[in-house]
Amino acid sequence: MRGRHNLLNVLAASALAGLAGVPVEAMRQVATTFTGVEHRLELVRELNGVRWYDDSIATAPERSLAALRSFEEPIVLLAGGRDKKLPWGEFADETVRRVRQLIAFGEAGPMIARVVQNSQFAIRNSQFRLEGVTRVGTLEEAVAVAARLARPAEVVLLSPGGTSFDAFRDFAERGDRFKELVLGL
């Protein structure tokens, strides 16, 4: 599993299991074989050297930050959905630092693209990774653009930062649709 936040979860679970008397070997077995939870930095597939991850549960900018910080590889980020009127500044700065291509979709797409393009980090620094921002209307369009832009050894990450309610019943339906699209590539 990727992400410092997941490591902290494993440590907390291990501490509680230890207090409950669970043998260390049983904890080790679970920690080394648990692959994670659906729609939470879930590896969907690797195709042509590109790894596709579903983090549809990330319905707030700070949730997407944890996902972004889980990768060293260049990222093609799919962000969007419906804005919950939360601050996007730190998300924008981290996107400029870690993401090679941003694909902004849904109701919040134009706002996310604008905030990232106006990132204070980018304004103050000349060393950053972001090469481009693409605005599209739908998740389907976002996946199609990502498939064209992604390069081998990169990650395509659906970590929207917004809710799914502009186009889907919930984050799970959005994540399922993402996986369906990715598996159909």
CA–CA dist 81, 79 (Å, integer)? 7
Residue 73 and residue 120 in one domain: yes
Mean pLDDT of the region 82-87: 97
Residue 2 and residue 46 in one domain: no
pLDDT given at position 1? 66
Model confidence at 126: pLDDT above 70: no
Nearest to 68, CA basis, from 96, 32, 46, 43: 96
pLDDT given at position 61? 98
Mean pLDDT of the region 64-77: 95
Share of the chain above pLDDT 90, in %: 72
CA Rg, the chain, in Å? 17
Residue 7 and residue 59 in one domain: no
pLDDT given at position 123? 66
Residue 53 and residue 30 in one domain: no
Q: Give the structural domain span for 19.
A: 1-36
Residue 24 and residue 45 in one domain: no
The CATH number given to whatever domain includes residue 98 is 3.90.190.20
CA–CA dist 9, 31 (Å, integer)? 10
pLDDT given at position 127? 63
pLDDT given at position 30? 75
CA–CA dist 38, 44 (Å, integer)? 10
User: pLDDT category, 128, cuts 50, 70, 90?
Assistant: confident
Residue 20 and residue 31 in one domain: yes
Residue 164 and residue 117 in one domain: yes
CA–CA dist 149, 3 (Å, integer)? 24
Model confidence at 153: pLDDT above 90: yes
Residue 29 and residue 44 in one domain: no
Residue 29 and residue 46 in one domain: no
Dump pLDDT digits (tens) for 8-55: 777 887 788 888 998 888 878 877 766 777 889 999 999 999 999 999
Number of domains in the chain: 2
Residue 68 and residue 142 in one domain: yes
Residue 19 CA: distances (Å) to CA of 13, 24, 33: 10, 11, 21
Model confidence at 5: pLDDT above 70: no
Mean pLDDT of the region 66-93: 96
User: What's the pTM?
Assistant: 0.87
Task: Phi first, then psi: give them for residue 51, nearest 5 degrees.
Answer: -100, 130
Residue 177 and residue 111 in one domain: yes
CA–CA dist 40, 24 (Å, integer)? 26
Q: What is the mean pLDDT of the chain?
A: 91
Residue 83 CA: distances (Å) to CA of 4, 79, 109, 116, 168: 26, 11, 9, 14, 14
Model confidence at 6: pLDDT above 70: no
Residue 97 and residue 174 in one domain: yes
